[in-house]
Structure 1
């Protein structure tokens, strides 16, 4: 039996890390910051030593999870960020894409919830750079869409209200195991119609 090539080893490493991060997201939804590497190993159906080989502690694992979630979030809303439509039309599709991804991908939900909570469950200041990147890549472009597309006296407050609504809706869907497919567009329409009628 010939030894594995570097490419094969890299593919196995990537597959294992994805398996570990997916399990970590599921465990985090169940236990929050109390999650332990051992819990992740059980959920991923891997040996404790295998998970520990990739991540020496849960904080390193959660940090990787959240950075990966930022990339996933940016990819999910890219169509709205890069669209040729006027800014007035971009904010709603952006919100729709974000909510859909938040419900489908636990790591994106964990990221948005952590940002909304200002990372207060995490020790130290290890997420300052992640928060700054989130602001630059997700939040600030969204505020700009609000500024140009909705007649709002405070685009930042409006953006915060929408983000909070999306995170709250996703939390209900995730934590209460809603069986039926959620009407994402309907929820986003309701949020925007409420905001626009209030701003008039």
Structure 2
């Protein structure tokens, strides 16, 4: 049997890290910040040493998980840029895509919830760069679209209300094992119909 190539080793490494991060997301949903590396190893059906080889502590693992979630969230909502219409249509499409991604990918939900909680479970200031990137890539474009629409005198306040609604709706379904039951279209219709300008 010939030794593995560098490419094969890299593919195995990527597969293992994906397996570990998926398990970490599931464990985080169950235990929150109390998760331990051994819990993740058990969920991933890997040896403790294998997981420890990739991540020396849970904070390193969670940091990777959240950065990966940021890239996936950004990729998922990219389709909103192609939506025809004004800022409100783009914002609604963006919010709908983000809610759908939260339900399909627990790590994106964990990212949004952690940002909403201002990373208060995490020690030190290690997530300040991640927060700044989230603001620039996800939050500020959303606020700008709402601002373009003139539906609110405070676009940031409206954006916070919508993000809070997304996190709350996703949490209710995720924590009660009803991921497949969330009607993202209906939720977004309800939220955005509530922020439309009232006819006088």
- Please classify the TM superposition score into its range, dividing by the shorter chain length: over 0.9
1:76 aligns with 2:76: yes
**Could you tell me whether the CA contact under 8 Å between 1:91 and 1:149 is conserved in 2?**
no
CA distance in 1, matches of 2:60, 2:17: 12
**Could you tell me whether the CA contact under 8 Å between 1:81 and 1:141 is conserved in 2?**
no
Secondary structure in 2 matching 1:46: coil
Give 1:187 shift.
0.5
Structure 2: runs of 5 or more not aligned: none
Change (3 A) 1:150 1:101: farther
Q: Deviations over 1:14-54 (max 9, x none)?
A: 00000000000000000000000000000000000000000
Secondary structure in 2 matching 1:13: helix
- Residue 102 of structure 1 corresponds to 102
**TM-score for the superposition, normalised by structure 1:** 0.96
CA distance in 1, matches of 2:199, 2:21: 41
Q: Deviations over 1:111-139 (max 9, x none)?
A: 00000000001111000000000000000
**Could you tell me whether the CA contact under 8 Å between 1:80 and 1:90 is conserved in 2?**
yes
- Residue 167 of structure 1 corresponds to 167
Change (3 A) 1:160 1:199: farther
Change (3 A) 1:199 1:15: farther
1:112 aligns with 2:100: no
**Could you tell me whether the CA contact under 8 Å between 1:151 and 1:199 is conserved in 2?**
no
Structure 1: runs of 5 or more not aligned: none
Change (3 A) 1:14 1:179: closer
Secondary structure in 2 matching 1:123: coil
Q: Deviations over 1:77-127 (max 9, x none)?
A: 001135454323101110100000011100000000000000001111000
Change (3 A) 1:59 1:182: same
**Could you tell me whether the CA contact under 8 Å between 1:25 and 1:106 is conserved in 2?**
yes
**Could you tell me whether the CA contact under 8 Å between 1:90 and 1:145 is conserved in 2?**
yes
Change (3 A) 1:49 1:133: same
1:21 aligns with 2:21: yes
**TM-score for the superposition, normalised by structure 2:** 0.96
Change (3 A) 1:199 1:163: farther
Give 1:193 shift.
1.2
- Residue 88 of structure 2 corresponds to 88
Q: Deviations over 1:139-178 (max 9, x none)?
A: 0000001001242010000000000000000000100112
CA distance in 2, matches of 1:72, 1:180: 20
- Residue 9 of structure 1 corresponds to 9
Larger deviation, residues 18-27 vs 79-88: 79-88
Give 1:198 shift.
7.0
- Residue 192 of structure 1 corresponds to 192
Secondary structure in 1 matching 2:177: coil
